[in-house]
Amino acid sequence: MRVPLKIILLMAALSCAWPCAGAAPVGFTSAHETVAIQPDGSARVRSELSWKERDGGPLLLPFNYTAAEDLRVTRGEKGAVVAARLEQVEGMTYLRVAAARRAASVAAEFVVPRYLDWNKAGPGEYGYYRWKSVYRNNMRRSIDSVTLEIVLPPGFIAAGFGRSVPSPAAEEALPPYWVKNVDGASHLFMKAGNLALGRACSLEYSFARRGRSPWLPLAAALAALLWLFFCRDLISVK
Amino acid sequence: MVTQAEAPRPESGLHLDDFSLAKVPARKQSASDRWLKYLGVPVAALALITLLLMPTPTGLTLCGQKALALFAMALVLWVAEPVPNYVASLLLMVMLVTMGVWEERKVLGVLGLDVIWLNVTAFVLSSVLVKTNLAKRVALQMAVRFGRKAMPVLLAFVVLQLGLAALVPATAARSVMTLPIIMIVAAVYGSTVKNPNNFGKNLALLNIQGINIFSSGFLTGSTCNIMAAAFILQMTAHKVYYSEWLLGALPVVTGAMLLSWWLGPRLFFRLAPEQERPSVPGGMEALTAELGKMGAVTRAEWHGALIFGLVLLLWVTDKYHKALFGFEISPVVAALIGCVVALCPRIGLLKWNDADIPWHLLIFSTGAYAGGLALSETGAAQWLVDAVFDLFSIKPGISFWALYCIVMAVSMFSHIVFTSKTIRTIILIPMIIAIANRLGFNPVALALPAAFTLSWVVTLPISGKPNVLFYGTNQYSIGDHLVSGLAVCAMGTALLILAGFTLYRAMGIVPY
């Protein structure tokens, strides 16, 4: 995927003109973003970022949404709350976090009010809803490994996957996404390695309401009974 | 299993008109076949309903669950044959689309896959060998040399496939080369397309096994072997040498093939006394006379051999194509080149009407591949493998040998739900290495013997390209294929376990 020129210019500007951005961490090891979609279309997001070493100063975390409510950011394993706020820089939104130098990770939790537009999502053919989730790395440094986890609203189940970025490496290769149905909730996972500046990983998926239509099983049972009745000559003694 | 004592038409033995594959032949039904047909639809419906209504397991999407249910339904229909297999395949394709499992363009696109084109081209090239009488000459020579009794001629084909596997890596190429010869030898023993018997069944199934299984005897026998060796090198730093592979795999595959040759006609598809010898009037003398009557190799035969030789040359020199032409000619395109030459006026040998292409088989294959690919694309195939491993609840503390047996069995039989050896290799080998690492065992001790099973794709017509080709000969049913495939895989698993305790210990692959 080509990196948009706008983002490259923005990052170059950030590194030169803004001291806080210049004090960015060195080498992020992993990012894990969990997006739990709620029945009203909002989403509870938990975004974790960890690193091996950094050179101090505040962090500018990627923020891929239009708004955030109930923002709460913690750092390290102990989960000490740290100050954070959303900031606009050159038209892009970042989460500015005052993370201590010794901390190895931060986790931001917030609510995105209108994450999923039910009207746009569906239901379409076969009663499937379709949506796309994206994680874009707007930071100056690459992230070694990114995991995007989508939790479907209660009462829905993952139907299938559409296109993904990154896509499977070859025609006959394992896809970078998978599903886990845990405690009645469908969790969709997407993994990307080495997400560089401006790069995004994304996943298109479809989901449907839980519960089965009785028509197909009924039709199959009826076809079986009709077969047994009308084709009984097959086993009549000849 | 089944003894078919039906009398072959003795005069039909070498009449090439009897080898037409394009028309769907009617099969005689035994009482058990009719019961199977009668129960096929309710059992298929039951499989569909059960799998559709069960709670969606963790790790499976709704589409994956539906794909699994539809494949199970189709499998029952293919084996029991209450409806012709091409009808079952078409039904599967319709249901894949209408149930929202797989997109319509993908389902329809299966007809354009390389495996389907390979089928078309293979049947055109086979027609060349049949029309020119070249196949008849080779078959007669084999029959005269080895064919006084059924067992030696079956063994001759085992040896032939072993030799070809060492020389020609492409299984499709070996299939195309031997298919017409097999059909004529089968006919010599009274098994034609219209009246197949147990000799033809044994001969065709043994050759399918030979073509597939012998690929596992050589590191270069199949791309999946090389991929598996690459995974082992990458993940364990153990380099698998050609000689190590040969020494570890070839004795097992040879043993399994010999067992299959010995047991097939005695246990699974017993030969009636009249099928033990050539059934052409006049016996061996008539065959010798027929061969004599053919005289010297004709111009047409040389012509056919030349066209076939060109394709064969392209197949066996595939790794040099890039250096020679700047690009690689795939096996399908090589076969297409052969078809162009064979069908071209003046330089070719065939008119379109001479090309014997069984379209019913291609429709069956398309539906079957669509079902298999849907299993793979929806993640259902991978989920099944995971579920089987979970079933054995492999936990720390399990003995190495218990784990070794489980891994061999799962690797061997997992091909039933995969249409691609490549994708099975990608899933299985890293998974086995990860399991071994987690439990503290040497990963090579499990991954290398498991890699020896990757080419054992012998259970269903869609398990491998040669299987689809041979299914068109009408010498056996899908049920026969399933029985013989499961039997040879069970033998292979047992041999791999035996080798684990003996040969692989001596070679240092597994621990003492």
* CA-closest candidate to residue B230, choices B454, B508, B510, B498: B454
Take residue B509 and report the two structure tokens written for it.
């692959």
Is A197 part of any domain?
A: yes
Q: In angstroms, what CA-CA distances link B410 with B406, B444, B451, B489?
A: 6, 17, 12, 11
Dihedral sign, CA of B477, B483, B486, B492? negative
Cis-peptide, bond into residue B345, ω within 30° of zero = no
Q: Which residue of B has its CA nearest to A183?
A: B58
Query: CB distance from A182 to chain B under 8 Å?
Result: yes
Q: Which residue has the tokens 């009408």?
A: B474
Is the pLDDT reported for residue A171 higher than 70? Answer: no
Is A230 part of any domain?
A: no
Is A28 part of any domain?
A: yes
Rounded average pLDDT over A46-52: 87
**pLDDT level of residue A21 (50, 70, 90 thresholds):** very low
CB of A192 closer than 8 Å to CB of B20: no
- Three-class SS of residue A13? helix
* CA-closest candidate to residue A43, choices A64, A60, A58, A74: A64
Is A238 part of any domain?
A: no
Rounded average pLDDT over A45-65: 81
Is A218 part of any domain?
A: no
Rounded average pLDDT over A34-55: 88
Is A231 part of any domain?
A: no
Range(s) of the domain holding residue A115: 5-212
Interface contact A179-B379, CB threshold 8 A: yes
Q: Are strands A143-151 and A185-195 parallel, antiparallel or unpaired?
A: antiparallel
Phi and psi at B241, nearest 5°, equal -90, 155
The reported pLDDT for the residue numbered B9 is 39
The reported pLDDT for the residue numbered A187 is 95
Separation of alpha carbons A180 and B491, rounded Å: 36
DSSP state letters, A27-64: EEEEEEEEEEE-TTS-EEEEEEEEEEEE--S-EEEE--
Take residue B191 and report the two structure tokens written for it.
């098994």
Separation of alpha carbons B462 and B457, rounded Å: 9
The reported pLDDT for the residue numbered A26 is 58
Q: Which residue of B has its CA nearest to A185?
A: B58
Is A233 part of any domain?
A: no
List chain B pLDDT tens, one digit each, 512 residues. 333 333 333 344 455 555 567 777 677 778 888 898 999 999 999 999 999 999 998 889 999 999 999 999 998 998 888 999 899 999 999 999 999 999 999 999 999 988 788 888 888 888 888 888 888 888 788 878 887 788 999 999 999 899 888 877 778 778 888 888 888 888 888 888 778 889 999 999 999 999 999 999 988 788 788 888 988 888 888 888 888 999 999 999 999 999 999 999 999 899 988 888 888 777 777 778 888 888 888 999 999 999 988 988 888 787 788 888 899 888 889 989 999 999 999 888 889 888 888 888 889 888 988 988 898 888 888 888 888 888 877 777 889 999 999 999 999 998 988 877 877 888 888 888 888 888 889 999 999 999 999 999 999 888 888 888 888 788 888 889 999 999 999 999 999 999 999 999 999 998 87
The torsion of the CA quartet B366, B367, B370, B376, rounded to 10 degrees, works out to -120
Is the pLDDT reported for residue A20 higher than 50? Answer: no
CB of B118 closer than 8 Å to CB of B170: no
Could you read off the pLDDT of A100-153 as tens digits, one per residue?
A: 666 678 889 999 998 999 999 978 888 899 999 999 888 878 889 999 999 999
Query: In chain A, what percentage of residues exceed pLDDT 70?
Result: 82
What is the DSSP-derived secondary structure letter of residue A135?
Answer: E
CB-hemisphere CA count at 13 Å for B441? 27
* CA-closest candidate to residue B254, choices B507, B429, B422, B499: B499
Interface contact A160-B34, CB threshold 8 A: no
Interface contact B49-A235, CB threshold 8 A: no
- Three-class SS of residue A134? strand
- Three-class SS of residue B75? helix
Residues of B in contact with A223 (CB under 8 A): 41, 45
Is the pLDDT reported for residue A68 higher than 90? Answer: no
The reported pLDDT for the residue numbered B209 is 95
Rounded average pLDDT over A51-76: 81
Separation of alpha carbons A140 and B57, rounded Å: 41
Is A220 part of any domain?
A: no
What's the domain count of chain A?
1
Nearest-CB residue to B423 (from A126, A128, A172): A172
Q: Which residues pair with A205 in a beta bridge?
A: A131, A161
The reported pLDDT for the residue numbered B413 is 93
Rounded average pLDDT over A7-29: 50
Residues of A in contact with B82 (CB under 8 A): 227, 231
Domain CATH number, residue A104: 2.60.40.1730
Q: Model-level pTM? A: 0.82
- Three-class SS of residue A3? coil
Nearest-CB residue to B52 (from A158, A216, A235): A216
Nearest-CB residue to A179 (from B37, B61, B420): B61
What amino acid is encoded at B29 in this protein? Q
Separation of alpha carbons B108 and B92, rounded Å: 12
ipTM for the assembly: 0.83
* CA-closest candidate to residue B206, choices B138, B272, B160, B173: B160
The reported pLDDT for the residue numbered B19 is 59
Give ∠ CA B197-B172-B136 in degrees, rounded to 5: 50
The reported pLDDT for the residue numbered A56 is 66
**Shortest Cα distance, chain B CAs vs residue A212, angstroms:** 7
Separation of alpha carbons A144 and A137, rounded Å: 11
Rounded average pLDDT over A179-197: 89
- Three-class SS of residue A21? helix
Residues contacting residue B170 through CB under 8 Å, at least 6 positions apart: B315, B318, B331
Query: In chain A, what percentage of residues exceed pLDDT 90?
Result: 38
Nearest-CB residue to A221 (from B49, B62, B379): B49
